[in-house]
A and B are shown apart, each in its own frame.
Chain A
């Protein structure tokens, strides 16, 4: 898990609620990513950011929002518009946007009640 922390480890959401997942890194990496992992599927990219105050949508951004106010932090908000949010969420970093190796946090498991 290296220098990437995600919190909380487990999160429960009620219908209609927005929830925010935290991702913090001390690797001094420029790029940060949010993925969603579902059973039997590959990781799917939600959002990514290569510099502070800039981020781009990934393949499944609908119902999610992010911010990048500090280099170390890239929180993900799962909004009520995301109809099927139950999944394992992973935050990752790379030194640069096109740098090869991705470093992952320990993940947050989100469950809708």
Chain B
């Protein structure tokens, strides 16, 4: 079956450290992968997009990698801050679904001061 998987357990990180979140997918031919941030009771907010022919993308303290051989994307937040605490969602765009996004369930990130 086709799936997008994110770690369902909350990730606890000490302030100042790098947080790394994982997004794995199976049986898709990806065109691009996106990462969103969602705060409790609010809609997701777009953070970064990486295309299938790109290995890495950066934006300020954020970095995304995309390995189509491993079928995995990693999302890094460097110098993490308590304000980075939120749920992070990955979403895959693929020709298989006519480019409608396939969403992971999200990973809750908690940055401890």
Contact = CB atoms under 8 A, between A and B. Distances in A.
Q: Do A and B come from one complex?
A: yes
Interface of A: 1, 4, 35, 40-45, 48, 58, 90, 92, 97-98, 100-107, 109
Given A58-B100, A100-B32, A100-B93, A42 B105 contact: yes
B59 interface: no
B14 to A, nearest CB: 26
Q: Is the interface of A mostly helix, strand, loop or mixed?
A: loop
A4 B36 CA distance: 17
B102 to A, nearest CB: 7
Contacts, number: 54
B104 A42 contact: yes
Contacts of A106: 42-43
Given A40-B8, A45-B100, A104 B43 contact: yes
B78 to A, nearest CB: 23
Given A42-B4, A90-B43, A107-B42, A100 B103 contact: no
B103 A43 contact: yes
Contacts of A92: 43
A40 B8 CA distance: 7
Interface in B37-79: 41-46, 49
Contacts of A43: 44, 89, 91, 101, 103
A35 B89 CA distance: 14
B34 interface: yes
A106 B44 CA distance: 8
A35 B42 CA distance: 13
B58 to A, nearest CB: 17
A98 B105 contact: no
A35 B4 CA distance: 17
A102 B45 CA distance: 8
